[in-house]
């Protein structure tokens, strides 16, 4: 599925304030390498249902064996192993006698201490990988997991590592065994160990995804084969909200355009981001925040949410809105399946101009039957004109006022909202009162 950095930012997949990103919320990796792999997974979605279901099955397999994940592999261990190859030490004997081992310890004390410490962490890493292979590699292993673990097994099946399963911990190695293992790791296994570290990083990224699914009770979405775009979700919510309200949403070839209205703060932007984020997560093989979800495989996902001006280039907010819409139209008019989410189209111009521009754009976009659109707007007036088109669904978020207090249900309803509460919000926040005192 094609998407750009703007969409990843608009949907809060990534954010400049990292703690407010979906990536940060769902990051349960244990190592720096795992986190970097996870970031790669979150930066590029998968393009086939087969690839997506392969990752889904992999995450399910890890979930079933989550208690078998080796605690002895830590980020600290990996850092020590990497540092071991960067640090100069005196030549480590390959097959020392007891006397030679003792002599090395006596005459190369500082190096011996470093080697023992580093080899201990190497021991833990190899043992951890052996345990992972035993726990996760079998005839029923999903293909992505099987392929990775079989490669790890090939790399790790070395006679020099036969001592590791026999010892509970590295401290149980004799001095001779430790130096023998250190020599092999240092001089004969560098390329292999770094490949193994990369394999573990990918396993750790999958582990982090599986942990997030468990932590937040996500469900795996079901992908529908076919040429028509579809999104059906029940109990869908936004993962970043502390107390989210769930939505039910259906978009398909019969109603492929959702026209969304409601007052400020009523929940329009959150809804749009919820749908976009769930579709994105589904396309990386991740579980989604919903009770159930079915969707088609999309070729692309584009957003138009947080448009900004560019003072340096002399580009106004409205100009950049136009450019984003123009580029979107050029992209999606290619016969492929796209999901397009647009929040408050044409905020950068006056109301009359915005109404005219929005109507023209919407009536153009609805000609594209092989894509789905969600568009929010304050311009409820144009809804009457758009009712002539059978493929537009009209939804709104209701706001009630009780003694000048706003109440937001955040529940999606059928129809068009004509709520205009900007002045009331100004009054509630005592802005009017402050202005009157000037």
Phi, psi (deg, nearest 5) at residue 259: -100, 110
**Residue for token digits 């590699």?**
137
pLDDT of amino acid 318: 81
Could you tell me which residues come within 8 angstroms of residue 380 by beta carbon, excluding any fewer than 6 positions away?
A: 261, 416, 417, 418
Q: Is residue 225 within 8 Å of 178, Cβ to Cβ?
A: no
Domain positions in the chain are: 31-216, 222-436
What is the torsional sign of CA 407, 410, 414, 419?
A: positive
Cα gap 374→112, rounded to integer Å: 65
Tokens matching residue 214:
């468990």
pLDDT at 46: 96
The burial class, CB within 10 Å (0-12 / 13-18 / 19+), for 166 is exposed
- At residue 291, φ and ψ (nearest 5 deg) are -80, -35
> What is the per-residue pLDDT for 350?
82
Name, in order, each residue with C-beta under 8 angstroms of 77's C-beta and a sequence gap of 6 or more.
Answer: 121, 124, 125
Complete edge-to-edge strand list for the sheet that includes strand 300-304: 300-304, 338-343, 372-376, 257-262, 392-402, 405-414
Look at residue 400 in the predicted model and tell me its pLDDT: 77
What pTM does this model have? 0.92
Q: What is the CATH code for 222-436?
A: 3.40.50.300
Encode the chain (438 residues) as per-residue pLDDT tens digits.
999 999 999 999 999 888 899 999 999 999 999 999 999 999 999 999 999 999 999 999 999 999 989 999 999 999 999 999 999 999 999 889 999 999 999 999 999 999 999 999 999 999 999 999 999 999 999 999 999 999 999 999 999 999 999 999 999 999 999 999 999 999 999 999 999 999 999 999 999 999 999 999 999 999 999 889 999 999 999 999 999 999 999 999 999 999 999 887 788 999 999 999 999 999 999 999 999 999 999 999 999 988 665 543 445 778 888 888 999 999 998 889 999 999 988 877 788 888 999 999 999 999 999 999 999 998 889 999 999 999 999 999 988 777 667 777 888 999 998 776 667 777 777 787 787 888
Contact 247, 355 (CB under 8 A): no
């Amino acid at each position: 599925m094609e998407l750009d950095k703007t969409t990843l930012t608009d949907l809060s997949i990534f954010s400049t304030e990292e703690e407010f990103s979906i990536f940060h919320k769902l990051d349960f990796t244990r190592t720096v390498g795992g986190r970097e792999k996870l970031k790669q997974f979150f930066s590029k979605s998968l393009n086939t249902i087969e690839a997506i279901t392969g990752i889904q099955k992999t995450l399910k397999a890890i979930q079933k064996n989550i208690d078998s994940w080796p605690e002895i592999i830590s980020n600290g261990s990996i850092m020590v192993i990497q540092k071991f190859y960067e640090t100069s030490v005196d030549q480590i004997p390959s097959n020392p006698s007891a006397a030679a081992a003792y002599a090395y310890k006596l005459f190369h004390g500082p190096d011996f201490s470093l080697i023992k410490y580093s080899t201990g962490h190497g021991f833990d890493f190899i043992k951890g990988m052996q345990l992972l292979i035993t726990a996760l590699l079998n005839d029923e292993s999903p293909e992505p997991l099987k392929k990775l673990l079989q490669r790890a097994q090939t790399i790790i099946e070395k006679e020099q590592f036969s001592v590791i399963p026999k010892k509970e911990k590295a401290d149980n190695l004799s001095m001779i065994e430790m130096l023998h293992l250190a020599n092999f790791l240092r001089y004969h296994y560098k390329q292999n160990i770094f490949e193994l570290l990369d394999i573990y990083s990918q396993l750790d990224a999958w582990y982090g995804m599986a942990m997030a699914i468990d932590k937040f009770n996500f469900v795996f979405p079901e992908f529908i084969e076919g040429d028509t775009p579809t999104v059906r979700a029940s109990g869908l919510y936004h993962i970043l909200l502390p107390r989210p309200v769930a939505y039910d949403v259906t978009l398909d070839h019969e109603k492929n355009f959702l026209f969304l209205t409601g007052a400020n703060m009523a929940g329009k932007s959150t809804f749009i981001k919820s749908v976009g984020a769930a579709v994105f997560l589904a396309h990386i093989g991740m579980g989604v925040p919903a009770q159930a979800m079915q969707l088609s495989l999309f070729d692309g996902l584009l957003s138009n949410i947080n448009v900004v001006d560019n003072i340096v280039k002399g580009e106004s907010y409205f100009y950049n809105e136009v450019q984003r819409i123009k580029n979107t139209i050029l992209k999606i008019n290619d016969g492929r399946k796209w999901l397009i989410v647009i929040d408050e189209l044409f905020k950068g111009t006056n109301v009359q101009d915005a109404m005219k521009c929005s109507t023209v754009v919407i009536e153009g976009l609805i000609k594209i039957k092989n894509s789905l659109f969600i568009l929010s707007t304050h311009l409820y007036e144009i809804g009457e004109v758009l009712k002539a088109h059978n493929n537009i669904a009209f939804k709104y978020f209701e706001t009630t006022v009780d003694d000048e207090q706003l109440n937001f249900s955040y529940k999606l309803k059928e129809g068009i909202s004509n709520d205009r509460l900007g002045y009331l919000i100004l009054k509630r926040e005592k802005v009017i009162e402050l202005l009157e005192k000037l």
